[in-house]
Amino acid sequence: MRDVHFLIDYSRQQLSLSEDELYVSHIFVANSATALPKSRGRTFARNALVFALGVILLELSCGTPLIEQALDSEIDAQKQETPNTEYQIAMRLLQDIRNYETDSFASATSSCIKCDMGSGQDYDLDDEGFRAGFVERVLWPLEEDFEAVFRKR
């Protein structure tokens, strides 16, 4: 699989969906990265979009939404999220991720949560250095894992 196809206004009857291709049928807002709220732990995130990807990777790894992994110390007395909850859960789960995931998946996830792309102080995907670090530390390791698991035999 090398391609991702974005579909707009489709019906399943009109398409012949292949198992070898990924189809995305969601409409993305052009400036959705700037519209992300800084709530749910994202107040600590250097880049909310990259942090959100790390959260998704943790959720895929755990098989549950991040909030279901919360300890009592990470939520308030009414069992509700605080502004720090998501960040605290993510940082705690990162401590053990190498015990049950590949090193490359664990490193990519950690890079997203900590926003560590090795590019200095600019945490914007519009910055060439940050973007190059993102590709090297997140996309390539995830692609390698994907290829190792789904390689045609």
Burial (CB < 10 A; 0-12, 13-18, 19+), residue 26, is: exposed
Residue percentage of the chain with pLDDT more than 70: 68
pLDDT at 24: 53
Question: What global pTM score does this model have?
Answer: 0.70
Q: What is the pLDDT of residues 2-61, one digit of tens each?
A: 455 555 555 544 555 555 555 555 555 545 444 444 445 466 778 889 999 999 999 999
**Domain residue ranges of the chain, discontinuous segments joined by +:** 36-150
CB 109 within 8 A of CB 137: no
Nearest to 112 by CA among 46, 37, 59: 46
Q: What is the pLDDT of residues 61-113, one digit of tens each?
A: 999 999 999 999 998 989 888 888 999 999 999 999 999 999 999 999 999 99
Which residues contact residue 112 at a Cβ distance below 8 angstroms, ignoring those fewer than 6 apart?
50, 51, 53, 54, 57, 138
